[in-house]
Homo-oligomer: A and B are copies of this chain.
Amino acid sequence: MEKIIRFGVSMDSKLLNMFDRHIHKKGYTNRSEAIRDIIRDHLVSQEWMNADSETIGTITLVYDHEKGDISERLIESQHHYCDNIISSIHVHLDKHNCLEVLVVRGKANKIQEISDHLISNRGVKHGKLTMTTTGKKLV
């Protein structure tokens, strides 16, 4: 069962004003929610520094599908890591360029390994690993 705690934070009025203006611009309607988001983001980074905890990452790849056998090589690599790759989405950006996003679950260092392996493929123009979370431990 969830238990919500309310605690007090003291802050200089000038600093609080600046913060309120900042989160208003970002679209927050609620100060607590903005503070919770900032805190969760810090904790997710920590989760990723602990190589042993299971987590989730997304790997974004942009490549030219006409460059050699890049499509086959990416598919082959993905099958090799099929235990970790949950799902993927493919977008045809234009006649040449493809974007693929893979959702990967596993230990932080395993996800890093998969990301390195895919991004280092000749033909991948741009690749990025985004570290997110299973959400389990975050409330």
> Using a Cβ–Cβ cut-off of 8 Å, how many residues does chain A contribute to the interface with B?
77
| A16 within 8 Å of B (CB atoms) | yes
* Chain B residues with CB below 8 A from A93, complex form: 56, 134-136
Are B27 and A15 in contact, CB atoms less than 8 angstroms apart?
no
Are A8 and B8 in contact, CB atoms less than 8 angstroms apart?
yes
Return A28 CB to nearest CB of chain B, in Å.
5
* Chain B residues with CB below 8 A from A117, complex form: 27
User: A139 CA to B139 CA in the complex, in Å?
Assistant: 30
Main SS of chain A's interface residues?
mixed
Check A15/B32 contact, CB under 8 A, given A26-B120, A128-B132, A132-B126.
no
Are B32 and A18 in contact, CB atoms less than 8 angstroms apart?
no
* Chain B residues with CB below 8 A from A122, complex form: 30, 33
Are A116 and B62 in contact, CB atoms less than 8 angstroms apart?
no
Are B22 and A11 in contact, CB atoms less than 8 angstroms apart?
no
Which residue of the partner chain, among B42, B58, B94, B138, contacts A60 with CB atoms under 8 Å?
B58
* Chain B residues with CB below 8 A from A94, complex form: 134-136
* Partner-B contacts on A (CB < 8 A): 2-16, 18-19, 22-23, 25-28, 30-44, 46, 56, 58, 60, 62-64, 86-89, 91, 93-94, 96-97, 99, 101, 103, 116-117, 119-120, 122, 124-128, 130-139
